[in-house]
Amino acid sequence: MTDSKRVFNNRIRPEQQSRRELADLLVDYLTQLGVEFVFGVPGGAIEHFYSALARGMRRGHGPRPIVARHETGAAFMADGYYRETGKLGVCCSTTGPGTTNLITGVASAYENQIPMLVISGQTALSLFGRGASQDSSCTGIDTVGLLRYCTRYSTLISHPDQFERKLTTAIMTAFESPYGPVHISVPWNILQHSTFIEKPSYDLVTLTAPPSTLDIESLNKLYRHIERAKKLVFVIGGGCGEAISSILELASLLNATIFATHHGKGFINPYHPLFRGIVGFAGHRTTKEILSDPEVDTILAIGTALGETDSGGWDSQLLLNERLIHIDAAERHLTRSPMARLQVRGRILSIFEYLVKLFKEASPTSSSKMSGKQNKDRSSLTPFLPFPLDAEAEYSADSTPIKPQRLMRELSRLFPTGTRFLSDTGNVIAWAVHYLHPFWEEMPGPHAGSGGVFRHSAEFVSMTWSLGASIGTALGNPNKPVVCLIGDGSLLMSGQEITVAVQEKLTIIFVVLNDAALGMVKHGQRLTRSEPIAFELPDIDYSAYARVMGADGHVIHSPQDLLNLDIAAICRKRGPTLLDVRIDPEEVPPFGARMQVLGAIE
């Protein structure tokens, strides 16, 4: 009889009470790191890990399992949990299809540089090569090999003596620059192996702390370049989270213009007087106008990978040119800026704390007009955006069906400060990047990958990311409402994950942009003059869909329908609410001049 079969109704037979397995040591390491949740779907090969979680919970020790409805959703939840808390995201699965189901979520974390521990159950070592059910060993569907292509580290633990060393190596690798997911595949007979190790041998809190070593020569060179600049622009990327206060303080000292990339959008209050909008895909025309100004002689791109969306399709005239100074913690990001005047590698927080110190010493009487800390004071900020939006008339339109532009305006106004907005891919990301500008008073997440108050999965662009990530976000911080912006196509892919939010009583507002179409495909086909095909979806009442799963649901046809909602009550409710928003399907999102849709480039 296996150990998992000895468990009945969460009661373990007395002879099992004192037994300690390697799975218990794994739980100890997660506890050491402060991990509160493990996201996954249980199964036979991973059952010993779940049993160890149960033993830990009885002792008031260790993370609690959250059962996703699909393993991809589990990986997205772990992603969202890290972005909110800065703690390691952990997801797990059984062997075979359970592990292959994780791949899309893990690949998304890889491209977006999210530290994540992926734990997969594995066929027993003695059964390798014998055609075992759900065999994912090297002689079956090699999941260690498959995940090697979308993780920083992927390994099979084939002997008990390897367990601690390989686990520690994996977790340390997840927090090396660039951050990313790591994978350990553990055969079930290794997980259940008895151990005399009573506590972790390694202090992973210390070993995963970010280094603060500074290259003083490079920083002094950077200081001189900035000091000589006549007209300076800061471009804030997704790697600026823990450093944002110092970055804004320096920008204010130097009166620099501030832009943000998609990933950096949530780090700066859109009403900051130095902020002039989003650069890149679905960005604002102000950024192009200012970057086209020949008087702008220095551009600091900070914590950005300078990929397609961040750089506006690798625009060499506006951004990727000799005016550029690229500052980043990841070496591979710097390979994308060979044209830069200067490249500086290091921890961004340490770099900008050093620069602020130098500039204050050089001008001791200078004062910051608007530091990062002053963002908390609403009275010090203008009530109007300091940059124009496209289609201003639609932004204020009262028409029915509601314009997506107007929807984003009202969402920005209706929800309380500090609300987390998570955007899915498709048309919704273009609408949100350009038109969603919520005021916030306090910077969330003092860690490098938090994403601020606005988050999305821009690099791998995974449909349904926001649904799972919103659950991880809400679990990580139940004191803030979470708004999940998602298209009807994405909801149809994995809407069953809403039942997790119902079960966990999470305050998540699922805002479904319902146009009965795969909207980006539809508009992309039109803009690229392709055949109009395979984009139509059925007309569905998603509010009824939500109610069947135990959530509240409302249909929104007009701006007034949205204004009639008691948003305060919705945000107080312990449980999710779905808004089925019937948007105008003919409104074209602000894709910009360069658009890529399903591999077709305009």
Same domain, 435 and 567: yes
> What is the three-class DSSP state of 355?
helix
Same domain, 422 and 534: yes
pLDDT at 3: 40
C-alpha 315/C-alpha 307 separation (Å) is 10
pLDDT at 345 over 90: yes
Give all strands of the β-sheet with 420-423 in edge-to-edge order. 454-456, 420-423, 482-487, 508-514, 577-582, 552-556
> What is the three-class DSSP state of 91?
strand
- Which of 321, 347, 380 terminates a domain? The answer is 380
- For residue range 288-327, list pLDDT tens digits in order: 999 999 999 999 999 999 999 889 889 999 999 999 999 9
Same domain, 133 and 281: no
Same domain, 155 and 230: no
Same domain, 64 and 103: yes
On whether residue 305 sits in a domain, the answer given is yes
- Which of 380, 405, 430 terminates a domain? The answer is 380
257 neighbors 264 (Cβ within 8 angstroms)? no
- Percent with pLDDT over 90 in the chain: 77
On whether residue 14 sits in a domain, the answer given is yes
Same domain, 10 and 117: yes
C-alpha 34/C-alpha 30 separation (Å) is 6
Q: How many CA atoms lie within 13 A of 251 on its CB side?
A: 29
Between these two residues, 598 and 96, which has the higher pLDDT value?
96
On whether residue 386 sits in a domain, the answer given is no
Q: How much is the average pLDDT of 529-539?
A: 94
Same domain, 265 and 307: yes
Domain range for 456 is: 392-601
Same domain, 351 and 429: no
What's the domain count of the chain?
3
On whether residue 497 sits in a domain, the answer given is yes
- Residue 10 dihedral angles phi and psi, to the nearest 5°: 65, 15
On whether residue 447 sits in a domain, the answer given is yes
pLDDT at 413 over 90: yes
pLDDT at 517: 94
- Which of 152, 185, 207 terminates a domain? The answer is 207
On whether residue 387 sits in a domain, the answer given is no
On whether residue 529 sits in a domain, the answer given is yes
Question: What is the separation of C-alpha 570 from the centre of its chain, rounded to a whole number of angstroms?
Answer: 24
Same domain, 287 and 396: no
Same domain, 472 and 354: no
pLDDT at 403 over 70: yes
pLDDT tier at 224, thresholds 50, 70, 90: very high
Residue 456 token pair: 């999305």
Question: Any idea what the CATH number is for the domain that residue 238 is in?
Answer: 3.40.50.1220
- For residue range 455-491, list pLDDT tens digits in order: 999 888 999 999 999 999 999 999 999 999 999 999 9
On whether residue 385 sits in a domain, the answer given is no
Burial class (CB in 10 A: 0-12, 13-18, 19+), 55: buried
pLDDT at 11: 43
Which residues touch 76 (CB under 8 Å, ≥6 apart)?
105, 108, 462, 464, 465, 467, 468, 469, 471, 472
pTM: 0.92
Question: Any idea what the CATH number is for the domain that residue 86 is in?
Answer: 3.40.50.970
pLDDT at 389 over 90: yes
Same domain, 196 and 242: no
- For residue range 4-48, list pLDDT tens digits in order: 333 334 444 444 445 689 999 999 999 999 999 999 999 999 999
Same domain, 529 and 404: yes
- For residue range 94-104, list pLDDT tens digits in order: 999 999 999 99
Mean pLDDT of the chain: 89
